[in-house]
């Protein structure tokens, strides 16, 4: 390490094209829309809500952004009933009780500050992201925010607006580098209008067959070009069928990895039959695919 890393976000991302190039360098192929959304989120310090079908690259976008900015990715996985204690911070009660007891038994006097100090504070993802000391803000990934409920959304809204949190025993902690918040949603329910208005919004679509093939080749290094292209086209055709869960980018990547492992060089009906479970996870979908004819799916 020669000199300390003091580049700011603006230095690393002067324009959208720079971000696209940076993402490309970490093997995330972003189209212009995705790059614009991430760029604005990073430069304007505004949260961005990314929606899209499952397996299309929403979480990966945040991960790759963190890699480009050379800053840690802090991930908060939302689920129903998640509350402040699990998301923001919690006091280590057992430890506090023990030290109180210990002090009592020794006859020592304990001050408030002794029991409410740093070593008793358990920082959860949101607090970790807020307290990140720099040189650049952390990327805070709030994954599947639609699985949390209305109460949590309201709390999140306030936090994102202020980028500060008040812990009664310690005081107000203001983020010196407000984190870049990336929220993802699977649209299982409609998010509150207030949250949606606070965020920038982007919808990631399935990639075209050609783009899909490029993504596969990046993510499965060493895969043959023909195989990647065939799988990408087959997956595109599968999506046109009436499936309960159309295969996304993640499934395509898994599929190619499985085929490579089995030493398949070119896709044919037999190879599909053996590895169909990598792409289609529902028995009914597999039946639909077989009825459509595995050979026609490859040849088109």
Partner 1 sequence: MPADLASVVGLFGRELHRAGIPVSPSESAQLARVVQVCDPLTVDQLYWCARVSLLRSPDQVPEFNAVFALVFRGLADVAEHRGQEPTALRSESRPPRQAAGEQGSERQPAGPADTRAGPVGEEGAEVEQHALRALASSEERLRHADLGALSDAELAEVAPLLHQLLTTLPTRRTRRRHRHPRGDRLDVRATIRRSIRSGGDPVLAVRRSRRRRPRRLVALLDISGSMEPYARAWLHLLWGAATVARAEVFVFGTRLTRLTPVLRTRSPQQALARAGRAMPDWSGGTRIGHNLKAFMHRYGRSGMAHGAVVLVVSDGWERDDPAVLGAQMEAIARRAHRVVWVNPRVAAPGFSPDTAGMQAVLPFCDDLLSGHSVEALAEVVAALGGDRQVSSRHTGR
| Site for partner 1, residues 138 to 157, rule: CB under 8 A | 149, 151
Residue indicated by tokens 């695919």: 289
Q: Would you count residue 36 as binding partner 1 (CB under 8 A)?
A: yes
Q: What distance in Å separates the CA atoms of residue 219 and residue 24, rounded to the nearest whole number? A: 12
CB of 173 to partner 1, least distance (A): 20
CB of 51 to partner 1, least distance (A): 7
Contact (CB, 8 A) for 207 and 74: no
Q: Would you count residue 258 as binding partner 1 (CB under 8 A)?
A: no
How far from 209 is each of 104, 230, 237, 246, 295, CA to CA, in Å?
A: 70, 9, 9, 14, 18
One residue of 23, 29, 30, 37 binding partner 1 per CB under 8 A: 37
Contact (CB, 8 A) for 234 and 298: yes
CB of 46 to partner 1, least distance (A): 7
One residue of 11, 93, 176, 239 binding partner 1 per CB under 8 A: 93
If you compute the radius of gyration of the chain from its CA atoms, what whole number of angstroms results? 24
Closer Cβ to partner 1, 128 or 186, answer by number: 186
CB of 3 to partner 1, least distance (A): 27
Tokens representing residue 279 in the block: 């792409």
Instruction: Fill in the DSSP letter of residue 220.
Output: S
Closer Cβ to partner 1, 51 or 254, answer by number: 51
Contact (CB, 8 A) for 124 and 89: yes
Q: Would you count residue 202 as binding partner 1 (CB under 8 A)?
A: yes
Q: Would you count residue 7 as binding partner 1 (CB under 8 A)?
A: no
Q: Do the bridges between strand 164-167 and strand 89-91 make them parallel or antiparallel, or are there none, so unpaired? A: unpaired
β partners of residue 180: 139
Q: What distance in Å separates the CA atoms of residue 16 and residue 41, rounded to the nearest whole number? A: 11
Q: Would you count residue 46 as binding partner 1 (CB under 8 A)?
A: yes
Q: Would you count residue 286 as binding partner 1 (CB under 8 A)?
A: no
Q: Counting every residue, how long is the chain?
A: 300
Tokens representing residue 249 in the block: 């980018």
Closer Cβ to partner 1, 133 or 168, answer by number: 168
| Site for partner 1, residues 171 to 200, rule: CB under 8 A | 186-189, 193, 196-197, 200
Q: Would you count residue 32 as binding partner 1 (CB under 8 A)?
A: yes
User: Which residues form the interface with partner 1 (CB under 8 A)?
Assistant: 15-16, 32-33, 36-37, 39-40, 43-44, 46, 48, 51, 79-83, 85, 91, 93, 97, 100, 149, 151, 186-189, 193, 196-197, 200-203, 242, 244-245
């Amino acid at each position: 390490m020669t000199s300390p890393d003091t580049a700011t976000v603006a230095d690393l991302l002067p324009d959208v094209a720079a971000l696209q190039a940076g993402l490309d360098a970490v093997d995330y192929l972003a189209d212009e829309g995705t790059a614009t959304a991430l760029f604005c989120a990073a430069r304007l310090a505004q949260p961005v809500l990314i929606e899209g079908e499952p397996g299309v690259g929403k979480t990966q976008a945040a991960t790759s952004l963190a890699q480009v900015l050379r800053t840690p990715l802090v991930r908060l996985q939302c689920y129903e009933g998640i509350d402040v204690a699990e998301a923001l911070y919690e006091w280590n009660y057992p430890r506090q009780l023990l030290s109180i007891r210990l002090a009592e038994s020794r006859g020592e006097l304990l001050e408030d500050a002794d029991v409410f100090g740093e070593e008793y504070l358990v920082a959860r993802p949101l607090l970790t992201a807020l307290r990140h000391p720099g040189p650049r803000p952390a990327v805070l990934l709030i994954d599947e925010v639609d699985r949390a409920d209305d109460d949590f959304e309201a709390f999140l809204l306030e936090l994102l607006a202020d980028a500060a949190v008040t812990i009664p025993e310690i005081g107000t902690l203001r983020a010196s580098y407000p984190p870049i918040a990336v929220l993802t949603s699977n649209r299982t329910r409609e998010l509150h209008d207030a949250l949606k208005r606070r965020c920038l919004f982007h919808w990631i679509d399935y990639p075209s067959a050609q783009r899909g093939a490029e993504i596969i080749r990046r993510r499965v290094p060493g895969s043959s070009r023909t195989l990647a292209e065939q799988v990408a086209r087959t997956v595109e055709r599968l999506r046109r069928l009436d499936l309960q869960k159309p295969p996304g980018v993640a499934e395509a990547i898994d599929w190619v990895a499985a085929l490579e492992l089995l030493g398949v060089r070119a896709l044919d009906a037999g190879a599909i039959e053996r590895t169909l479970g990598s792409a289609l996870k529902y028995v009914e979908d597999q039946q639909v695919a077989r009825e459509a004819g595995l050979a026609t799916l490859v040849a088109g």
